[in-house]
């Protein structure tokens, strides 16, 4: 299994990832209540944020290259903005 870093340029908080069924879930150890969830089979991304967590850019790791490629469609970085 290969670790693949999602290409975020300016991460303030590094999130920890774990899996629950078809969901990859990233939780921030510094922002209680923050979680980003992605279901690769359904193509659904969900984010739970708090007023505090909205102040920071969150990033994390995925273990599968295919997941990184799917997630890259949902993450817009400076290089993709027109």
- Does a structural domain hold residue 80? no
Number of domains in the chain: 1
Q: Please give the model's pTM, rounded to 2 decimal places.
A: 0.65
**What is the C-alpha separation between 60 and 15, in angstroms, rounded?**
5
Residue 37 domain-assigned (yes or no): yes
Per-residue pLDDT of the chain (82 residues; tens, 9 = 90+): 444 444 455 778 888 889 899 998 999 999 999 999 999 889 899 999 989 888 888 887 776 655 555 556 555 444 433 3
Residue 19 lies in a domain: yes
Supply the range of the domain harboring residue 62. Answer: 4-75
Q: Can you tell me the distance from the alpha carbon of 52 to that of 35, in angstroms, rounded to the nearest whole number?
A: 13
Closest CA to 22 of 6, 3, 54, 46: 46
Widest CA span in the chain: 36
Cα separation of the two ends of the chain: 35
Q: Is residue 71 helix, strand or coil?
A: helix
């Amino acid at each position: 299994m290969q670790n693949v870093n999602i290409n975020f340029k300016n991460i303030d908080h590094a999130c920890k990832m774990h899996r629950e069924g078809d969901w990859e879930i990233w939780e921030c150890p510094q922002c209680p209540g923050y979680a980003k969830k992605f279901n690769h089979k359904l193509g659904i991304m969900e984010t739970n944020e708090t007023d505090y967590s909205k102040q920071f850019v969150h990033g994390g790791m995925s273990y599968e290259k295919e997941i990184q490629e799917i997630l890259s469609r949902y993450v817009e970085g400076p290089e993709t903005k027109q």
